[in-house]
Structures are given as C-alpha cells and as structure tokens.
Amino acid sequence: MKIGLLGGTGNMGRGLTIRWALKHEILVGSRNLDKASRIAKGLSNLARGFYQSEMGGIITGVLNEDAVKESEVIVVTLPPKATVPVLSSLNANLRPSQIVISTVVPMMRKKELFYYSSLDPEGTKRDEMSAAERIQEIVGPSPVVSAFQTVPATYLSNIDAILNIDVLIAGNDELSINIVSRLVRDIPNLRPLRVGPLENSKWIESFTPLLINAAILNGLHDPSIRIVPWMPTSDEL
Ligand SMILES: NC(=O)c1ccc[n+]([C@@H]2O[C@H](COP(=O)([O-])OP(=O)(O)OC[C@H]3O[C@@H](n4cnc5c(N)ncnc54)[C@H](OP(=O)(O)O)[C@@H]3O)[C@@H](O)[C@H]2O)c1
C-alpha cells in the first residue's frame, strides 16, 4: 500500500517506516522537504541493508501535504499539540477513500508523572474527546482507525527486535479496521486486537500515560502490553 506519515520524521514515524518498508511504499511527511528527504534516505539505506533482497517497498521524503495527496493510508504521527492545526490545514486534500490512522496520545506531565489529557484546551466543548474522535471530526468522511498508541517507537525502530506485543484497534468502519489489522500483522509478531468503536479510543490512548508511569515508578524500560488469555488445563481442551 501507499502509506503517508504526517510528521513521519519523528520517533514514531521513523519506527513505522522502517517496519513497513519491507512491503509498502512509504511517504515520510514533514514540514520541510530537505529534512524529509534526508531522513527517508537514511531509513531507506538502513532498511535495504537489513531486508536485503526481501525489501519490497520504497521510502520517499515528501511535504506533509503531498503525503496526504498521494497516499491510500495516512498515519498521524504528529505531536498532540500539532495535530489539530496540521490536520485542519490539510483536510481539504483528503479523499473519503483514504484511511486515517491515529497514533496520537494527548497527555500532560504534572511533577514526575503523566496524565491523559485532550487535544483541546480544558473547558472547551471538545475537551472530553479522544484524539482519534477529534481527528475524525476534522477529516470528515475519511474513516479514522485508532492504533499503535501503546507501542513504543523505540521497539519499532530497533529493526531486529521481535515484538511480542498487542496493538489495540478501535474504529467504526469494518473495511478500514481490516486493512489496518493487516498492516499491524505486516510487522512480525505484532498482534492486532479489536476493542470496539472509535469512542473506545479514549481507553487505548489513556493506557499510554499509565505505561509511562509504570516505567517511572517501577524502573521498567519502555513497557508495552500483551493481553494474555486464560489458559485452559489439558483436561478442558
Ligand atoms: N514516541 C513514541 O514512543 C510513541 C508511541 C505511541 C504513540 N506515539 C504518538 O505518536 C505521535 C508522534 O510522537 P513522536 O514521539 O514521534 O513525536 P516527535 O518525534 O516529537 O514529532 C514527530 C514530528 O512531528 C513534526 N512536528 C513537530 N512539531 C510540529 C509542529 N508544531 N507542527 C507540525 N509538525 C510538527 C516534526 O516533523 P518535521 O519537523 O519534519 O515537520 C517531528 O519530527 C504523538 O502523537 C505520540 O503521542 C508516540
């Protein structure tokens, strides 16, 4: 697929790019074309060196607006503060057939710990919305799927790391959920788990500050999640 990452030069964008480049055509979006091209070239060299002849995709650096115009799937890997202004300015270029993936986690730091917050200032009528629902409001008919919030970018960027973790997925559109689930499965050992409609994105997003606090309070390094089912005993199988 042709996947465009908005703010794709950052930690999350680079991590997803390096993983998806095995199979897909990736457009690394940025506000600055030189920066996008430089980072895309570096990631491309890294991916080619690692995947060798298996590499089926390509990585190109583009402006964010071109990532929106040219992609089938658009991934929002922008900082929370930039998400509403950037998407509002690019919204006119979106087509209803394009899927928008939100990875965005709005959170704030109070003293040493993190708390889930909102993309909009407190006291405004949208301050109760999850980031994914707010993005859906901006991008209109293009379906938004919420995913990857609990996957640390460091895991993705470590191209050799085996990621036995789950990616919780919320969305309202069956077809786009299936496409995003396949994109998750394209990253070896990541397991997509559907958790309901887009309104459930707030629960996925709010997990991230908990994980970071768990790391801070318990001395863990980049924790993520794996939902473990109850294992039946051999008699019950
Ligand atoms: N980092 C993680 O481990 C992780 C995990 C799960 C989810 N997420 C989510 O992924 C998103 C990106 O996180 P990140 O750590 O990758 O962010 P980041 O590295 O700080 O920033 C990503 C990119 O956004 C662009 N950007 C920065 N400020 C901007 C502004 N004011 N206006 C427009 N563009 C701006 C920059 O690209 P250019 O300068 O090239 O335009 C930057 O490279 C966040 O919403 C985060 O919650 C992150």
pLDDT (0 to 100) of residue 232: 79
How far are the Cα atoms of 95, 135, 196 from residue 10, in angstroms, in the given order? 25, 19, 29
**Has residue 15 got a pLDDT over 80?**
yes
How much distance in Å is there from the Cα of 233 to the middle of ligand 1?
Answer: 45
| Residues 91 and 30: beta-carbon distance below 8 Å | no
pLDDT (0 to 100) of residue 100: 98
pTM: 0.97
| Residues 204 and 192: beta-carbon distance below 8 Å | no
**Has residue 71 got a pLDDT over 80?**
yes
For residue 3, which phi and psi values (nearest 5 degrees)? -115, 125
- Closest ligand 1 atom, CA of 64? 41
pLDDT (0 to 100) of residue 68: 98
CA distance 16 to 12: 6
pLDDT (0 to 100) of residue 229: 84
Tokens linked to 90: 């690019």
* CATH number for region 2-236: 3.40.50.720
CA distance 230 to 192: 18
Beta-carbon contacts of residue 96 (< 8 Å; ≥ 6 apart): 140, 141, 142
How much distance in Å is there from the Cα of 215 to the middle of ligand 1?
Answer: 21
| Residues 158 and 184: beta-carbon distance below 8 Å | no
Q: Which amino acid is at 168?
A: L
Shortest-distance Cα residue to atom 2 of ligand 1: 153
pLDDT (0 to 100) of residue 11: 98
Confidence bin at 237 (pLDDT 50/70/90): confident
Query: How long is the chain?
Result: 237
* Tens-digit pLDDT profile for residues 83-123: 999 999 999 999 999 999 999 999 999 999 999 999 998 89
